[in-house]
Structure 1
Amino acid sequence: MMKRRSFVLTSMAAATVAATTLVGCGSSPDAPAETGGSTEPEAEVGTGTGAVDTGKLIVGFDASYPPYGYRDDNGDYTGFDLELAQEVAARNDWEVQLEPIDWDAKDTLLDSGAINCIWNGFTMEGREEDYTFSEPYMLNAQVVVARADSGIASFADLAGKNVITQVDSAAYNLLEGEEAAQADLRATFANLEPTPDYNTAFMQLESGAVDAVACDLSIAAYQLAAKPDAYVQLDEYLSEEHYAVGFKLGDDASADTVTETLRAMDEEGFVEELCEKYADQGISYANWCLA
């Protein structure tokens, strides 16, 4: 079991978050996803549909994943990662298209060219053979959240409990993937239930339908800030990891361009200012790791 390392997270005003109820949805009917570039059979994997090839960054994201990607009170897509993506596109004279997706379908959409990157608090560890990644830009961890009145204070207290997490998430793969790093812990649960999104998971937790949620540290910070008296985060971490932007295997040109653009944005102060904008939603510049 990994020892906990300090992460800097900032609380958010409960009233701000409580007002936002997020539900993922499909593409707008009048703005379908587009693909472009060569379809010649001899083309290398990853070429043809990338942002460098097409001049268009098509961002696949989970619209129920605050503070990285979600709908605001006006119904517009926003979030820390989406604003990073929009700035990267602007600096490279790329068109940008934000595509809310079914998270479980992300690989199919990326392979087909319906999207050409996954940018949404996307953990790279354990996925390195499946995607071409940008360099990591943000520190993260996988944690467990329980109700404050549950009496659950450690991993040992999860024995015989019902735990929920998002399908195909880093937490799910840690607990029940083919090479689950926390298989022994998972074996103590009464049940590990996958769900399409974390909003549903926390509604289930609040109602008492499940006993705990396994999720990203940033998601935990967001939810605890919204309802600080309702939840408690366990001190132990399931893992420590990094967020990066995922591209189709072989799309090194787009990955490298995004990395260098992010680095320039940080050097010019854009990233720190954006972190401050989202500080009340759990984002901290201290966790930015792309130097």
Structure 2
Amino acid sequence: MKHTKLWGNLSVLLILMGLIGGIVWKVNHPQDQWNKTQQKKIVVVGVDDTFVPMGFRNQKGELVGYDVDLARKTFQAIGLQVKFQVIDWSMKETELKSGHIDAIWNGYTATDQRAKHVAFSTPYHQDEQVILTVKDRGFNQLTDLNSLDLGIQTGSSGAASYDEHPKLLKKLIRNTTQYDDFSKALNDLQVNRIQGVLIDSDYARYYMAHSKQGENFKIIKTPFPKEQFVVGFRKSDLKLRTAVNKQLAKFKKDSTMNELAKKYF
């Protein structure tokens, strides 16, 4: 009787170990979600809806932008509907891994650190980091920045460049302030709580062109490397990434990307 109970307990233990092992294996070896995506016909894209001109709200509150338009056209051509999900940009990779979103498509720069966790599409746009400041503050070149308080968006490619290349800019800056989006940093810049914002060139130029106070600002170039914008996917979602890459290649050959560039840049 005791042996029977013992073998029964061992059987239950082995079954539990097998179930736990299966769960662990699935977590460490996620499957391609392409079949599920095709069944739902929906792709959820994570965005920061304050990031002009890639993804932002127009005066009617509608989500627009270069990346928004490009994502809609791309997924429509693939036969999928896109749903945009506003996320905390500093948590974008976590949102992707957890399955809350299926892609990151919003001025997302390819970096070595991000490549550890995310699979990238082929690059489709190039940008660079600049410092946006106010003309009458006396900052004209990098050597003037030793008394500057700099605003940086948490989780941005600018923040990554600032930390990864400390000799290029970090050693010059007095203090930095972290923001969850650029709009808050730009508000503080106007009232002199900070004297500069490390920001993507496309954003800075769009802001200067469309802001009522745009003529009061100027751009100081930085020595950071050029940035390649990509779409971020889970590494397991090879088929979705392949489909997007094929469509981006088509848009590069026809007039689609040029038309969007004229519209937003």
TM-score (normalizing by structure 1): 0.76
How many residues get paired?
238
**Structure 2 unmatched ranges of 5 or more:** 1-22
The match for 1:193 is 177
Distance in 2 (alpha carbons) for counterparts of 1:40 and 1:76:
42
Is residue 209 of structure 1 aligned with residue 193 of structure 2? yes
Report the residue type matching 1:74 in the other structure: K
Q: How does 1:271-290 map to 2 (within 5 A)?
A: 271-278=257-264, 283=265
Distance in 1 (alpha carbons) for counterparts of 2:32 and 2:89:
23
Tell me if the contact between 1:46 and 1:248 (Cα under 8 Å) persists in the aligned partners: no
Judge which range, 229-238 or 73-82, deviates more.
229-238
User: Equivalent residue of 1:239, what SS?
Assistant: coil
Is residue 262 of structure 1 aligned with residue 248 of structure 2? yes
Tell me if the contact between 2:93 and 2:117 (Cα under 8 Å) persists in the aligned partners: no
Q: CA deviation at 1:113?
A: 0.9
TM-score (normalizing by structure 2): 0.83
Q: CA deviation at 1:222?
A: 1.2
Is residue 94 of structure 1 aligned with residue 76 of structure 2? no
Distance in 1 (alpha carbons) for counterparts of 2:152 and 2:233:
24
More strand by share: 2
Report the residue type matching 2:33 in the other structure: G
| Rg comparison, structure with higher value | 2
- The structure with higher relative contact order (CA 8 Å, sep 6+) is 1
Q: How does 1:23-62 map to 2 (within 5 A)?
A: 42=26, 44-45=29-30, 47-48=32-33, 51=37, 55-62=41-48
- Residue 74 of structure 1 is aligned with which of 60, 68, 71? 60
Percent identical: 25
Tell me if the contact between 2:158 and 2:200 (Cα under 8 Å) persists in the aligned partners: yes
Distance in 1 (alpha carbons) for counterparts of 2:71 and 2:243:
12
User: Equivalent residue of 2:259, what SS?
Assistant: helix
Report the residue type matching 1:108 in the other structure: T
Deviant stretches of 4+, over 6 Å: none
Distance 1:175 1:40, change over 3 A: closer
- Residue 131 of structure 1 is aligned with which of 101, 104, 118? 118
The match for 1:8 is none
Report the residue type matching 2:225 in the other structure: S
Distance 1:184 1:46, change over 3 A: farther
The match for 2:17 is none
More helix by share: 2
**Structure 1 unmatched ranges of 5 or more:** 1-38, 284-291
